[in-house]
Amino acid sequence: MEKIIETRSPEETFRLGEQFGKAASPGMVVTLCGDLGAGKTVFTQGVASGLGITGPVTSPTFTILQIYEEGRMPFYHFDVYRIGDPEEMEEIGYEDCFFGQGISLVEWADLIPELIPEEAVRILIRRDPEKGFDYRKITITAP
């Protein structure tokens, strides 16, 4: 299944993430790819809101993993932008997240392709300079 959604503001991308979070089921792994500033974290903040998480959600760039427990299910937010070696994922116990009862969301997942399960839902966010500064084309692919 492939779905393409166009957004024209951060709020729209947030709301898309929120719908996604509301529909999410335990055990899901979601990958988010796209350039720096594409809107991966904005989408992620929407997902968190859709799960019922009310606190602030920021990119865990320096910790790789941030865990939120106050929502409908555990939310594991990875940002692997600064990962040096996939072994770091083992060290933080990613398997307990990916194969547990929460939802895992991975920003910059293309840096660790070998660790992403085949059943993952893949989300790609792209800009198009011809369509304006706030335009984003969001492609969601589920196996």
Identity of the residue, 21 or 34, whose beta carbon is nearer to ligand ADP in the bound complex: 34
| 114-140 as b/e: b if 16+ CB within 10 A | ebbeeebbbbbbebeeeeeeeebbbeb
Residue 130 and residue 61: Cα distance in Å, rounded? 30
The reply on whether position 40 binds Mg ion by CB under 5 A is yes
Binding residue for ligand ADP, selected from 28, 29, 30, 38, defined by CB under 6 A? 38
Q: At its nearest, how many Å lie between ligand ADP and the CB of residue 62? A: 14
* Sites for ligand ADP among residues 18-37 (CB under 6 A): 34, 36-37
Identity of the residue, 42 or 64, whose beta carbon is nearer to ligand ADP in the bound complex: 42
Alpha-carbon distances of 107 from 60, 61, 130, 132, rounded to whole Å: 10, 9, 25, 24
The reply on whether position 57 binds ligand ADP by CB under 6 A is no
Identity of the residue, 29 or 41, whose beta carbon is nearer to ligand ADP in the bound complex: 41
* Sites for ligand ADP among residues 96-135 (CB under 6 A): 107, 134
Secondary structure of residue 95 in the 3-state scheme: helix
The reply on whether position 41 binds Mg ion by CB under 5 A is yes
Q: 101 exposed, middle or buried (CB, 10 Å; 0-12, 13-18, 19+)?
A: exposed
Look up residue 142 and give its two tokens. 């589920």
Residues engaged in binding ligand ADP (CB under 6 A): 7-10, 12-13, 34, 36-42, 59, 107, 134, 136
